[in-house]
Amino acid sequence: MATYAIGDLQGCFEPLQRLLRTFDFDAARDRLWFVGDLVNRGPDSLAVLRFVRDLGDRAVVTLGNHDLHLLVAAEGFARLHKGDTLDAILAAPDRDELLAWLRTRPLMHVEGDHAMVHAGLLPSWTIAHAMELASEAQAMLAGSGYRSFFEHMYGNQPDRWDDTLAGWDRLRVVINAFTRMRICSPDGTMEFRHKGELADIPAGFLPWFDVPDRRSRTHTVVFGHWSAVGYRAGNGYLALDSGCLWGRELTAVRLEDRSVFQVPCRAGED
């Protein structure tokens, strides 16, 4: 049995199928970890969602910002953006089942010495603390009050963690760290505008994974979300968003031995 962690798909179904063939994926034997952003902007989000859902317990998915955007838009709390490719899901006969399945995916998964999230972890969070916070937000997403959560989820403030935070502010910081963060200051203040290269990060900020004394270094954190960084294996992290959507590659890493598998992609095509 092997476990393969796979970068952001964003509706790129055909590259996923080619990638699985490169390592002879066997659904009876192997497991797949998906770092989130299964859907949106690529050409076949519906096929991706159905395929991953149908893998059952052979697939582990952490929610990404595009996955949450689909859920919030489906409930009427956000409009679709130019470039979104979510209409097929919203019009599908199995829409409700797919959205209910997606809404109950975790924000964080920990197994052995690996932890998976979509975007990042704040530097003050240990793995245990992060899992506790993820569970708080997951309970809201999966529970009967999820519509109220969606109504209050978006916003950039507060922009840093404080143990005294409560209510929607507390949950918003958790969601933003897990699904939106790329950079932060050494004290954990998040900045959400920067999406570019490492060399262009604003003064006073660092990639969250390079903050000195980051408390989650006890595990290898597997994440995606930052396509400009691409595939990158560093001290205590694996970055897996290698920009398939933008015509670069789709990447998988076999966690047992860190073997890397990649297939080329074409921008805007499947």
pLDDT-derived band of residue 9, with 50, 70 and 90 as boundaries?
A: very high
Tell whether 69 is covered by a domain. Answer: yes
Confidence at residue 270, expressed as pLDDT on a 0 to 100 scale: 39
Residue 6: phi and psi, rounded to 5, are -125, 140
Spatial separation of the C-alpha atoms in residues 168 and 156, rounded to whole Å: 12
For residue 114, what are the domain limits? 3-264
177-199 as b/e: b if 16+ CB within 10 A: bbbbbbbbbeebebbeebeeeee
269: pLDDT strictly greater than 60: no
The structural domain count of the chain equals 1
> Could you count the other beta carbons within 10 Å of the beta carbon of residue 65?
18
Tens-digit pLDDT profile for residues 154-191: 999 999 999 999 999 999 999 999 999 999 999 999 99
Token look-up 């530097």 returns 123
Mean of the pLDDT values across residues 82-105? 97
Spatial separation of the C-alpha atoms in residues 52 and 121, rounded to whole Å: 25
CATH number for the domain that contains residue 105: 3.60.21.10
Confidence at residue 150, expressed as pLDDT on a 0 to 100 scale: 97
Tell whether 270 is covered by a domain. Answer: no
Spatial separation of the C-alpha atoms in residues 40 and 134, rounded to whole Å: 23
> What are residue 110's DSSP bridge partners?
115
Q: Rounded to two decimals, what is the model's pTM?
A: 0.96
Tens-digit pLDDT profile for residues 25-65: 999 999 999 999 999 999 999 999 999 999 999 999 999 99
